[in-house]
Structure 1
Amino acid sequence: MAQPEPLSVDDALDRLVNQFSDAMACFRELIQNALDAGSDEVEVWFEYERGMMTIHVDDWGAGMNREIIDTRLTRLFSSTKDGDMTKIGKFGIGFVSVFAIQPAAVSIDTSRDGEHWRVVFDEQRRFSLIRRDQPVEGTKISIFKPATKAEYAAFRARAAEVVRYWCKHVGGEVRVDGELINEAIDLSAPCKVRREQDNEIIVVGHPLDGQGFAGFYNRGLTLVEDGLDQAIPGIAFKASSAKLEHTLTRDDVIRDARFDKLMAAVNELIAGELCEQVFAKLDAAIREHGPEQGPDHGPDHGPDHGPEHGPDQDHAWLEHLWAAARFHEQAKHAVPEPPNSALFRSPSGAWVGWQPLRRPKRREVIVARVASPLTELLERDGATLVLLPKDCERGAALLEAIAPRVTHVTRWCTALPPNNTDEATRWQVLASQVARLLDAWGAKLGGVRLGHLDYPDSAVADRVAITQAEFGEATLVDDAGELGTGLLSSRRVVVLNADHPSIRTIAGLAQSEPELAAYLAVKAFFLGTRLDAKIDEALAVLTHDHRLLRRGVQA
């Protein structure tokens, strides 16, 4: 087998220069080297004159003497950083990255141990070593690159973005054109927890937008952010550890045992402290301003406890907490279920927690958009009700994840009594005639009553009548049209809808033509369900007979 030809120095250098996925990564490498040299500050600044831009990277670290220049700066593959977990630039090739932007020249001024040097690299990457008379504090790098004004402006803007992305969390102060770009390792998330131990910083939380985010850092220097297969939907996290290492191409983090251990710590925080915090905040939010209350009943969340106060913000805050709670409910880890913890409110304002949601008395949880006489009735009968306005989609999703069965209150209906005695009296003629006609037809009738069906979120407001086993009970809508004639049929109370315009018109007719009014009311009730030609004929004959009987008596 033929042996591969050895690489020339130039070939090796080309490979090193082109190994980085982004040429602008040179800023990360230079800043990284400056921090490794012990500098507490790094300044990146730019100049432009006569078609040439100059990029300055200044630090105030330990600097370099002749030995370091010869063995580390200008000699490939030489590094004393190997094995030192406090240094991120473990490959000793960071400086080579400056040639990725194809500079015309690079100049380095540095001092150490009483020695003062200038190292100049030309366009072909050849270098000259010049002794300086004056000392330099740290190391000052100047990179010269031909550019138009437009190219200079674009390069400068892009460089600022790159430095901010890679170096925003480093410990030393980093400035770009005088602007400090450092920020703490943190998340913009109202629900988050933080752990700092053993040179590791981990922050995990639930972002308001619900988008997963993963960021990995070494001493705050970005290794990789976002777009990872480690991203967890609904979770944002940042993890910094001196034990993490980047790949040679600097566009990913090495997945080894140390990485796995860090991810285990991330998941431990999610399953433990973050989970507990989510349900604690949800409990507090429900107790302070459940979903039905207005702008005068919500809490002041503060900058780290939720959105700004107001009805819209309160709703968004609850939706965020419900979404976060659903994440934990569907995750593999255990969820705390303290008996007095509130997850929702009922229409009456009572707190609804784990016990009634996991094991509701009727084996189902009923959702209502608003409080109403029907919800009051159902709660009084022992049903588990949850108040969720129409736009509480995430609350509804959490409820579906917790409860064995979820239904909507519009599966039920009820009838409200007349507003007063006078109203009941005015409708008595129609009610009695409808009862007479239905009884003659053979219906198992428990009476005919006047009732109001138009209450908040009513499912029967547009019906002319319903039937109930008892007037004013909670009746399933599917049963609200039942009216049997058989021997085994149960007696039903017919409730005429006092709020329906047709029934109001018919009630007026009943004052002069009570039999005809009763016929029209019953026909309207039967219409679309049981009414056919045979039943219609039977009702018409009975109406005619009743009318003749009344007129004969009158005569």
Structure 2
Amino acid sequence: MAGPYRDSGGDEPAEAPRDAGIVGDVIAQFADAHAYLRELVQNSIDAGSPSVDVEVSYERADQRLRVAVRDRGEGMTRDIIENQLLVLFRSTKEDDRTKIGKFGIGFASVLSPNPEVVTVHSSRDGRRLTLHLYRDLSYELFDAGPATQTGTTVELEIAMPPGDVSAYRTACETALRRWCRHAMVPINFVDVRPEQKTASRIDKPLELDHVLVQVTRSTDDDQLTVVVGISGTGGHVGFFNHGLMLHESPGDLVGNGIDAKIQDSRLGHTLSRDDVRRDRHFDRAVEFAREVAQGALADAIGEKLRELAEAGDHANHFALALATSSSSVRPPHWWVPLVEPYAGKRTILVGALGRTAWAAPRSTALTKRMAADGRPVVLAPDPELGNVLARVAGCELAFVHREITAITPEPRTDADDALLAFLLEILDEVHRKPRSILLARLDGLHADALAICAADENERIVEDDNARRNPFGLFLRRTLVLSVEASAVKGARAAADPRVAASHLARAILLQYRLLDIGRSERILDIALERAGVAR
């Protein structure tokens, strides 16, 4: 259909495609049925608009939904409309790096929702033009009179029953938030209803979502900006031009387990609109993101580990440590929290712990004793932290409650002294006596034991191998530590006759060390009877 301009003389417009199959193929490339919104926002940004409004309204009387994209850009002339906008594969933006579009096919996407008509109002050079584009590819172009401002509005009129309207409104907003969420100009979604008009901002800063740590860096010329971070959910990379998303997908392009968003005005999407072009600008952008990940991000993770450890935020500290250990980033410093203060601090560098470090899930009498003994204990609520530190720092954690027993001496009464004196005599008579006997509370691995071995009465922390030693050595005798919580010791201390109590306790001790036989058992009985002045 000839527009009014066709009768006014002037230059003959370029031939626009009249083959519905060609246009249909172009439209089919847009996998997202609402991608036309991205294309129209892109055009508005390329036109230099300081903001873009996307308005959705519905006329129940004629069951028509209207989607309008309004900008205050430079507008279009008749020549641009007829020889650029309406002609496939022709664009004025190909050599302009400040523009996003390159191929001249984006406007065709307005036909993807099958509108009854697409109306374009554009003002430039003091004139306002109106274009009606129909689904059969015919169009009308009018001179709508003088204009005092510049800008363009593209409105789609779509036949739609009332029951489908709500879902379509939601789909429009979702598409905008997907494609335009980091636009460099304000993008407003305006939901017009009979009772109210609601506006919400779509654009937000270029940042990663749901990450534990992220950093932002730009090149010296500010043309390339990358945001890299770590989330623990696997790598994910997005590419943007002027804040509009070109492509995003899971993957380890920037590094194993690294999330990234890359903004560069020199990046472009492929002709099929489903990917970003792999060219030298792409390669440079990815390499810069990798450098930031291994440099600034690694430093930030190290600092965040220290901050979380000092703040006592152990859940997030562990989450970050676990995510980092599964990634390709290695911070220069690994900070871990301590169960008890060590040298006045609640954190420590893994490098200061050596190849093996003590750990515990919480504060106990054992960890307090180890701290008093000058041994730092790493706070590890989750045993997996041991695997993390082994992977990233070559430091293995040994959990104190599995390896260590703490000794806390018990004050002795006169009755205790008498009991232990008789016990030493009996042990010496039937086998060999230890160096000494100590009454104590035991915490840790052998908390439930009757007795353990210690080097001497001053030892307060005993590792498992030493605790299991025989205190009755022929050449090297050690201290026998009796647990005051053991039932045999409690019974002996409560007994009225320390001689009888000592004989029962001696049997229990020798039984634990597999030294009790019939001969020694009878000898213990004889000694008890002798001490009591009773003939057998």
Normalized against structure 2, the TM-score is what?
0.83
CA contact (8 A) 1:322 1:395 kept: no
The two structures, once aligned, show a CA RMSD in angstroms of 3.1
CA contact (8 A) 1:519 1:539 kept: no
1:474-553 equivalences in 2 (<5 Å): 474-483=461-470, 487=474, 490-509=476-495, 511-512=496-497, 514-515=499-500, 517-525=501-509, 530=514, 535-552=516-533
Aligned-residue sequence identity (percent) comes to 30
Three-state SS of the structure 1 residue aligned to 2:79 is helix
Superimposed CA distance per residue, residues 300-342 of structure 1 (whole angstroms, 9 cap, x where no aligned partner): xxxxxxxxxxxxxx33453355446646xx7466x435xxx96
Specify the alignment match of 2:174 in structure 1.
161
Specify the alignment match of 2:68 in structure 1.
56
Specify the alignment match of 1:315 in structure 2.
314
Partners of 1:373 and 1:138 in 2: CA distance: 74
1:425 paired with 2:414, answer yes
C-alpha spacing 1:377/1:65, structure 2 compared with 1 (3 Å): closer
Specify the alignment match of 2:50 in structure 1.
40
1:21 paired with 2:13, answer no
1:248 paired with 2:240, answer no
The alpha-carbon deviation at position 395 of structure 1 amounts to: 7.8
1:133 paired with 2:126, answer no
1:101 paired with 2:113, answer yes
C-alpha spacing 1:368/1:399, structure 2 compared with 1 (3 Å): farther
The alpha-carbon deviation at position 378 of structure 1 amounts to: 4.9
The alpha-carbon deviation at position 537 of structure 1 amounts to: 1.9
The alpha-carbon deviation at position 390 of structure 1 amounts to: 2.4
Three-state SS of the structure 2 residue aligned to 1:414 is strand
C-alpha spacing 1:270/1:548, structure 2 compared with 1 (3 Å): same
Partners of 1:184 and 1:527 in 2: CA distance: 73
The alpha-carbon deviation at position 160 of structure 1 amounts to: 0.7
C-alpha spacing 1:332/1:261, structure 2 compared with 1 (3 Å): same
Partners of 1:404 and 1:168 in 2: CA distance: 43
C-alpha spacing 1:224/1:525, structure 2 compared with 1 (3 Å): farther
C-alpha spacing 1:94/1:526, structure 2 compared with 1 (3 Å): farther
Superimposed CA distance per residue, residues 387-440 of structure 1 (whole angstroms, 9 cap, x where no aligned partner): 305258558723663244321223122322223xxx342323332333233323
The alpha-carbon deviation at position 487 of structure 1 amounts to: 4.2
From 455, 468, 493, the equivalent of 1:469 is 455
Three-state SS of the structure 2 residue aligned to 1:193 is strand
Q: Which runs of 5+ in 2 are unaligned?
A: 1-16, 191-198
Partners of 2:142 and 2:341 in 1: CA distance: 84
Superimposed CA distance per residue, residues 422-463 of structure 1 (whole angstroms, 9 cap, x where no aligned partner): x3423233323332333233246222221221x4xx222211
The alpha-carbon deviation at position 162 of structure 1 amounts to: 0.7
CA contact (8 A) 1:347 1:370 kept: no
Three-state SS of the structure 2 residue aligned to 1:133 is strand
C-alpha spacing 1:400/1:131, structure 2 compared with 1 (3 Å): closer
Three-state SS of the structure 2 residue aligned to 1:483 is coil
Partners of 1:109 and 1:372 in 2: CA distance: 75
Partners of 1:229 and 1:285 in 2: CA distance: 27
Partners of 2:254 and 2:112 in 1: CA distance: 30
C-alpha spacing 1:414/1:64, structure 2 compared with 1 (3 Å): closer
1:72-221 equivalences in 2 (<5 Å): 72-133=84-145, 135=147, 137-177=150-190, 178-187=199-208, 191-197=213-219, 198=221, 199-207=223-231, 212-221=235-244
- The one-letter amino acid paired with 1:25 is A
1:364 paired with 2:356, answer yes
Partners of 1:471 and 1:186 in 2: CA distance: 61
C-alpha spacing 1:378/1:176, structure 2 compared with 1 (3 Å): closer
Specify the alignment match of 2:430 in structure 1.
441
C-alpha spacing 1:507/1:381, structure 2 compared with 1 (3 Å): closer
The alpha-carbon deviation at position 367 of structure 1 amounts to: 1.5
Specify the alignment match of 1:71 in structure 2.
83
1:277-426 equivalences in 2 (<5 Å): 277-284=300-307, 286=309, 288-289=310-311, 291=312, 314-320=313-319, 322-323=321-322, 326=325, 331=328, 335-336=331-332, 343-345=336-338, 347-350=340-343, 351=345, 352-357=348-353, 360=354, 363-370=355-362, 374-375=366-367, 378=370, 383=375, 385-391=376-382, 394=385, 397-398=388-389, 401-410=392-401, 411-419=403-411, 423-426=412-415
- The one-letter amino acid paired with 1:39 is S
Partners of 2:175 and 2:351 in 1: CA distance: 52
Partners of 1:196 and 1:275 in 2: CA distance: 17
Three-state SS of the structure 1 residue aligned to 2:246 is strand
CA contact (8 A) 2:186 2:203 kept: yes
Q: Which runs of 5+ in 1 are unaligned?
A: 1-6, 292-313
The alpha-carbon deviation at position 122 of structure 1 amounts to: 2.2
Paired positions, count: 501
Partners of 2:437 and 2:218 in 1: CA distance: 73
The alpha-carbon deviation at position 27 of structure 1 amounts to: 0.4
Superimposed CA distance per residue, residues 78-110 of structure 1 (whole angstroms, 9 cap, x where no aligned partner): 122212222111111111011111222212222
Partners of 2:391 and 2:329 in 1: CA distance: 17
C-alpha spacing 1:447/1:229, structure 2 compared with 1 (3 Å): closer
CA contact (8 A) 1:111 1:139 kept: yes
The alpha-carbon deviation at position 374 of structure 1 amounts to: 4.9
CA contact (8 A) 2:359 2:400 kept: yes
Three-state SS of the structure 2 residue aligned to 1:215 is strand
CA contact (8 A) 1:215 1:238 kept: yes
The alpha-carbon deviation at position 468 of structure 1 amounts to: 1.7
Normalized against structure 1, the TM-score is what?
0.81
C-alpha spacing 1:229/1:415, structure 2 compared with 1 (3 Å): closer
Partners of 1:97 and 1:493 in 2: CA distance: 87
CA contact (8 A) 1:53 1:146 kept: yes
Specify the alignment match of 1:10 in structure 2.
20
Three-state SS of the structure 1 residue aligned to 2:281 is helix
- The one-letter amino acid paired with 1:80 is T
Partners of 1:153 and 1:519 in 2: CA distance: 88
Three-state SS of the structure 2 residue aligned to 1:171 is coil
Partners of 1:261 and 1:514 in 2: CA distance: 87
